[in-house]
Structure 1
Amino acid sequence: MSARTENLVKAFGGLVVAWIIGMAIAEGLAAYGIDHWPLLGSVQAHITADATTYLIWQAVAIYVLVGGTIVYCAIRFRARPGDSGPPAYQRRYFGPFVIFWLVMSIAINLANTIYPGMVGLEQLWGIQMQAKHPLVVDVTAQQWKWTFSYPKQGITDVSKLVVPVGRTIDFVLRTKDVMHDFWVPAWGVKKDVIPNEIRHLYVTPTVLGSTKTNPMIRVQCSLICGNGHPMMRAPVEVLTKAAFKTWVSNNSF
């Protein structure tokens, strides 16, 4: 084995060791963050959280590999005091590596398109298709407030969103002015509200609570819509089915 090849083998070995150490640290931090995940308050939130968790694990591994290689090479092959002349090893490109990286990038992106992409969407759409009697809630957005109506229950234009736990809800989204985005962080999904268009978002809450008990349970516009955008929010309360019936009877006309 030539001296040049031997040095490259040692350098590669050092890179592998650095990657393993970096992976242990980074994946440990990722695991801590996942264990302290914000509230998952709906069936849909668990689906999106599973997808996000998978992509986090993958992104951390790739980031450590790429970022670690840059840092390692900057240290391992740095110019030292007294060095002069061109670097000992210098190549414009290395064909096998370029081909390998290209193939791996395409394969990873294709795999992600299938899972969690297509698989997750199929799960979300399946909930929507299987919902036989969803609770219909009309949501109206305008600068800078939300109003809610329950057409089948005879409740109109209330400023607080009240829903029962365990029942799929069909949010019918409209806007009176510009684009907004309907989002309850604890429910894990959101949808743009577009002028002159009626859109639907299906959510199945699974956790009792309210904005007072957990700020993640709130309606929040997540699309910049003007000066009042940061304050465009509305309180939410998730009740038991019995408590929701009582609320309906007290608020319907």
Structure 2
Amino acid sequence: MEMKKRISLELRNRNPAEVAELVVDNCRSSDGEVEGLTDEYVELEILSMVNAGLSSLSKLPSLPKLRKLEVSDNTISGGLDSLAEKCPNLTHLNLGGNKIKELSTIEPLQNLKNLKSLDLYSCEITALDDYRGSVFELLPQLTYLDGFDQEDVEVPDSEDDNDEDDEAGPPGEDDDDEEEDDDEEGSEGDEDEVGLSYLMKEGIQDEEDDGDYVEEEEEDEEEDEDGDEDSAAVQGEKRKRDADDEGDDDDDE
């Protein structure tokens, strides 16, 4: 599909000034130039024209808010001079898979003061001696070249950050979980309190039962003592009667 027609389809009845991201990968430019893109795209921040048959960026319109430009797998060999003027806020530029051979070809990128990430993978320039050191020296504003910084530390994956934000969930979910935990803890506390009360009640009952048992033993002991006293009294009475009977017998004799 021709680039101009593809861009028209991607608008989806929107006004060009409303478009912030435009992806027209795998379409075809009829003359190797950017087609169908105009200065009306004043809000455009991300533009992707991968494998679109581009050999030049000279007809790229003024895109003051453009931050990310993807033009990998084309046949661009130069003509990067106008990027600083047309896309002054560019921070990410992917030129991988193009026909860039010399450091002088990317020298105009020095004027892109906000450029932080540059990709040149699969370009002939990567075969130069001390390729990475030379590019970082030429473009001191760069942080990442082909996905790695000067210490060979890989660029952080921003998509992972977005996934963590999504996993955090909408506001309020954590609060609900905390409230549920509090409710569960409260229920456990009530159960513990009930169990403690029950044990205390059981202990009090046992003490009362022990007290009743002691009282019963004391009553039994008192009854036994009373019984012993009654027996002793009966026996004493009996001995007295026997003594009296013996005295009567002596008197009769």
TM beyond 0.5: no
Query: If the TM-score is normalised by the length of the shorter chain, which range does it land in?
Result: under 0.3
More strand by share: 1
TM-score under structure 1 length normalisation: 0.19
TM-score under structure 2 length normalisation: 0.19
Which structure has the larger Rg?
A: 2
